[in-house]
Structure 1
Amino acid sequence: MNHHEPQDKSMVELAAEALLDDEQILSDEANDVPPYLMAYEDKMPLYILSPSSAVADPSQFEVATARLQDFGFDVSLDPGAKGSFSRFAAIDTARAAAFSRAALSDAQVVLASRGGYGISRILHLIDWDLLAKHPKRYVGYSDFTAFNLALLAKTGLVSYTGPAAIPDFGGQAVDELTAELFVETMRDELEILCFEAAGSDAVDVRGVLWGGNLAMICSLIGTPYFPEIEEGILFIEDVSEHPYRIERMLCQLWQAGILAKQKAIILGQFSDYQLAAHDNGYDMDTVIQWLREVVGVPLVMGLPYGHGEVRVTLPIGQEVGLATQNDIAYLLLAEHHHAHDAKHDASLHSEDL
């Protein structure tokens, strides 16, 4: 298959081909060990920094480091990773300098220790030119959305939203699917992500994938750190935000003309909020119905991404394919070809989430 052929096929057709090939790959492995624990000949250098809130229990760094070593990474900690200053890991200039140290390190992956709050305060202090000269795979979520989008706006580089070192790898247990998807994405082994998407609109598009935490996205509108993405695929999530607050933030994106420029909107998890008696039936379903009526952009439901137990790793700023069929969504993360040797698919079902 030549590199131009996929342009003539739908996302579902490409997904079917990828799934057929990957079923053969997975069956050939015949290994009881979870894929993300398989031994890699090479250890991928990984650097942990703390650009946002402080980690309450520094001993969790040891747990996270040991686990990430098991997953095939050679882990190093930023000198300020375990620090604490007010509610932050360090003063603003020190947290910004951590990105420069990461850029100048030999790490291929730079992983945030946690989210919380603080990156918005340091965007103007980050040396974006240095980061552009020394590209890395930056990964984090929640507050890290500000960095993801700023990096895209200032340099055009792809980064990742996914797990964070402490909440995902430093606790008593690790979600296997979150870990597996993280490792395979960092190793360029994940080609397609499939997930249950009941209630989604019909869609078959290509576009630049971008997004993250909804509150952080909205906080950057009107700043030089907000990427101008047209005909993109926007994904969103949030936590502890009442549906009316979600709707208000979506109103801002809509009235700013941002939503209408997208080819599709993917809804992740909106969790940990409480409805009130005076809501009178107003809930997230109401918000989704309103969004469909006013925006006119296809909606895809059910992305296992947010502040829940399962957290997929997604590229921000990379062109992808997106399609839905029979209540399943297909997110094509890499161009498919029959000669690929190690690319997998991840099919996520309700029992996995």
Structure 2
Amino acid sequence: MRSCQLPPPLQPGDLLRVIAPSGALRERAALDQGVEIWRSRGYRVEFVAGYGDRWGYLAGTDAARRAQLQTALTDPECKGILCLRGGWGGSRLLEDWMTLQPPAMQLPDGIKPESLAKWLVGFSDITSLLWAFSQFGVAGLHAPLLTTIAHEPDWSLQRLFDCVAGKPLPTMHGNGWGGGKATGLLLPANLTVATHLLGTPIQPALDGVILAIEDVGEAPYRLDRLLTHWRMSGALQNVAGIALGRFSQCQAPAGYESLSIEEVLRDRLGDLGLPIVADLPFGHDGENGVLPVGLSVELDAAAGTLSFC
């Protein structure tokens, strides 16, 4: 993975564009609250045409959603891109970024490398866009979506707005599972989305990264299946450390004999000899502290911390 740079710090009055690259809008009230939070910080927030469209479970056709992304990227006044919600569909927009010949990823016609130097904010299905931006050296933010930000506690909101203002990020605290400490470039992701990016040009090189993963709605046996794929594909072979966020709505159904979420994670990850810190405050259905992609961090499994270098 290449080291990434954060975009220029945001200033009050800067224009932020809202796009819906994935699932169709379902949470109008939450969206309105999210827009107001960003506007209350002095930013101009404007929607790209088509954000409310629907094509089945997607927020419009691939061409329409791709046009939203391109509009935001090519607008010279736009300083940041706020993703409306997750769901599914982001990866579909990147098919025209991939080639069968080196380089494996290149920007579509009309998008220049400097166009990517904008704040990209989102998580969950937005993992695919965050990983794609990182391939061009831009540090997107694994951070609350417009439809989830209203549920964030004050510390998480302040962390996000400090980050986009160019201020250093404080240490995150969790529970260490042993393995010492490691430094590397931070690669946050939704586990399910990331698993389906393995082996594609969108996947960054994983050598030496601190992998930070979370998920939602995956039963323990499905988490087992996902992590087993990472193991069998060799994707974890050269990872430097693993930071675990929240795995929400992942409990087995009542009356269904199952390993617990923690038992699965410890079984599939605990024998890798890597520093692991669990219970870090990021992911779905709770505190979702911002994690920039491609910045240097230290993971300390003795102290249970994730610190930015």
TM-score normalised by length of structure 2: 0.85
> Offset at 1:189?
1.3
Paired residue for 1:288?
265
Distance 1:230 1:150, change over 3 A: same
Question: One-letter code of the match for 2:49?
Answer: P
Secondary structure of the equivalent of 2:171?
Answer: strand
Deviations 1:12-37 (A, max 9, x none): xxxxxxxxxxxxxxxxxxxxxxxxxx
SS in structure 2 opposite 1:321?
Answer: strand
| 1:265 counterpart (242, 247, 251) | 242
- Say if 2:208 and 2:239, in contact at 8 Å, map to a contact too: yes
Give the corresponding residue for 1:231.
208
Q: Secondary structure at the match of 2:23?
A: coil
Offset from partner CA, 1:33-79 (integer Å, 9 cap, x none): xxxxxxx9733322111101111254654433222111232211111
Q: Secondary structure at the match of 1:285?
A: helix
TM-score w.r.t. structure 1 length? 0.75
Aligned length: 287
Aligned partners of 1:192 and 1:330 also within 8 Å: no
Counterpart position of 2:159: 181
CA distance in 1, matches of 2:182, 2:273: 15
Q: Which runs of 5+ in 2 are unaligned?
A: 1-9, 98-105
Q: Which runs of 4+ in 1 moved over 4 A?
A: 57-61
Distance 1:163 1:237 in 2: 13
1:107 aligns with 2:78: yes
- Give, in whole Å, the separation in 1 of the partners of 2:275 and 2:11: 43
Residues 254-304 of structure 1 deviation map (CA, whole Å, 9 limit, x = unaligned): 111121211100111111133254525x11222133134442222111111
TM superposition shift of 1:101: 1.0
User: Is the 1:260–1:297 contact (alpha carbons within 8 Å) kept by the matching residues of 2?
Assistant: no
Matched residue of 1:191: which SS? coil
Alpha-carbon distance, 1:214 to partner:
0.3
Instruction: Give 1:316's match in structure 2, choosing from 287, 293, 298.
Output: 293
Q: Is the contact between residue 245 and residue 280 of structure 2 (CA under 8 Å) also seen in structure 1?
A: yes
Letter in 2 for 1:140: G
Residue 243 of structure 1 deviates from its aligned partner by 1.4
Deviation at 1:312, TM superposition (A): 0.8
Q: Which amino acid aligns with 1:151?
A: F
Cα 1:320–1:199 change in 2 (3 A) is closer
Check whether the contact 2:182–2:275 (CA below 8 A) recurs between aligned residues: no
The 3 A distance-change label for structure 1 pair 174 and 88 is: same
Of 46, 51, 54, which aligns to 1:84? 54
CA distance in 1, matches of 2:139, 2:270: 32
Equivalence for 1:340? none
Unaligned runs of 5+ in 1: 1-39, 336-353
Change (3 A) 1:57 1:247: closer
- Give 1:144's aligned residue: 126
Taking structure 1 as reference, are residues 300 and 217 closer, same or farther at Cα in structure 2, changes over 3 Å only? same
Q: In structure 2, how many angstroms separate the alpha carbons of the residues matched to 1:324 and 1:60?
A: 36
Q: Does 1:214 align with 2:191?
A: yes
CA 118–189 in structure 1, closer or farther in 2 if over 3 Å, else same: same
Tell me, yes or no, if structure 1 residue 304 matches structure 2 residue 256. no
Query: What do the CA deviations read for 1:322-350 (whole angstroms, capped 9, x no partner)?
Result: 32444x41421xx5xxxxxxxxxxxxxxx
Partner of 1:329: 305
2: CA distance, partners of 1:91 / 1:253? 31
Q: Does 1:250 align with 2:227?
A: yes
Q: Given that residues 11 and 43 in structure 2 are in contact (C-alpha distance below 8 angstroms), is that contact kept between their aligned partners in structure 1?
A: no
Q: Distance in 2 between matches of 1:120 and 1:330?
A: 28
| Residues 1:118 and 2:89 are matched in the alignment | yes
Superposed displacement of residue 305, structure 1: 0.9
Superposition RMSD in Å? 2.2
Q: Equivalents in 2 of 1:302, 1:294: separation in Å?
A: 18
Query: How far did residue 174 of structure 1 move?
Result: 4.9
Counterpart-to-counterpart distance in 1, 2:11 and 2:196:
42
**AA in 1 matched with 2:279:** G
Code of the aligned partner of 2:124:
S
Letter in 1 for 2:82: L
More helix by share: 1
Please point out which of 113, 130, 134 is paired with 1:132.
Answer: 113
Mapped partners of 1:79, 1:44: distance in 2: 19
Moved more, 89-98 or 183-192: 183-192
Conserved in 1, the CA contact under 8 Å of 2:23 and 2:59?
yes
**In terms of Rg, which structure is larger?**
1
**Tell me, what secondary structure is at the counterpart of 2:175?**
coil
Which digits, 9 at most, give the CA deviation of each residue in 1:170-203, with x for residues without a partner? xxx55323321211111121332231x2343253
